Amino acid sequence: MDGTGGVKDGIPPNLVPYHSLAELPNRGKYELVCVPFPINKAKHRRGHANREALLTMQGGLQGSMVPLPQARELLITDTGGKLRTSKRF
């Protein structure tokens, strides 16, 4: 905390709820969520770059993207609305 009531270094990851991809449609447009997106090896780098570009283009990436190669997932933290758009890609 920065002493003014704001969070200087972002929102701590443990405060962001984790949801499955199937639960994403039930989350609010501005609700901050963490969702794993399945990827395969061939699409791993391209998918990461495309999603990052899309999320950034929509007004800035609010959260983070963490590749989980062994699980073949990309763990993305952002708003429900942005992640629903990203899901289409």
User: Among candidates 13, 80, 3, 87, which has minimal Cα distance to 47?
Assistant: 87
pLDDT at site 23:
95
Q: What is the distance between the alpha carbons of residues 27 and 8, in angstroms, rounded to a whole number?
A: 26
pLDDT at site 70:
87
* 31-89 pLDDT per residue, tens: 999 999 888 755 555 556 666 665 665 555 567 888 888 888 888 888 898 888 877 65
For the domain spanning 14-87, the CATH number is 3.30.1370
List 66's β-bridge partners, or say none. Answer: 75
pTM for this entry: 0.70
Identify the residue with better confidence: 11 or 35.
35
